[in-house]
Amino acid sequence: MFRSHLFLFAAVGVGCMPTGSYQGKLVDAMTGDVLPDVRLLAKSMPVSRDMTCQTFDALTSADGSFTVQGLCGSDTYLLEPGLQFMLLEGVGIIDGSVQATEVVETKVWRAPGAGVYILDGTKMEKLSTAVDVESKALFESEEKVYYPSKMPVSYTSVEAGQYVMISGERNIEKLGFYPMIESQDRTFGTKAEPDKDEEPWAYLGIRFESDTEWERVKVDPDQAKVKEIGQDERHVVYIAADAVAAGQYALWEAGGRRTYALEF
The domain boundary residue, chosen from 110, 128, 161: 110
Query: What is d(CA 210, CA 36) in angstroms, rounded to the nearest whole number?
Result: 59
In this structure, the answer to whether residues 119 and 232 fall within a common structural domain is yes
In this structure, the answer to whether residues 248 and 132 fall within a common structural domain is yes
Burial of 102 (0-12, 13-18, 19+ CB in 10 A): exposed
pLDDT at site 14: 46
The domain boundary residue, chosen from 82, 110, 138: 110
Report the first-to-last Cα separation within the chain, whole angstroms: 76
Digit-coded pLDDT (tens) for 183-241: 988 999 999 999 998 889 999 999 999 999 999 999 999 999 999 988 777 899 999 99
In this structure, the answer to whether residues 125 and 246 fall within a common structural domain is yes
How many structural domains compose the chain? 2
In this structure, the answer to whether residues 141 and 171 fall within a common structural domain is yes
* 12 has a pLDDT exceeding 50: no
pTM for this model (two decimals): 0.82
Digit-coded pLDDT (tens) for 203-218: 999 999 999 999 999 9
In this structure, the answer to whether residues 120 and 104 fall within a common structural domain is no
Q: Which residues pair with 3 in a beta bridge?
A: none
Query: What is d(CA 190, CA 170) in angstroms, rounded to the nearest whole number?
Result: 36
The domain boundary residue, chosen from 77, 92, 110: 110
- What residue numbers bound the domain in which 158 lies? 115-263
In this structure, the answer to whether residues 101 and 120 fall within a common structural domain is no
Digit-coded pLDDT (tens) for 133-156: 999 999 999 999 999 999 999 999
In this structure, the answer to whether residues 53 and 90 fall within a common structural domain is yes
Digit-coded pLDDT (tens) for 72-86: 999 999 999 988 788
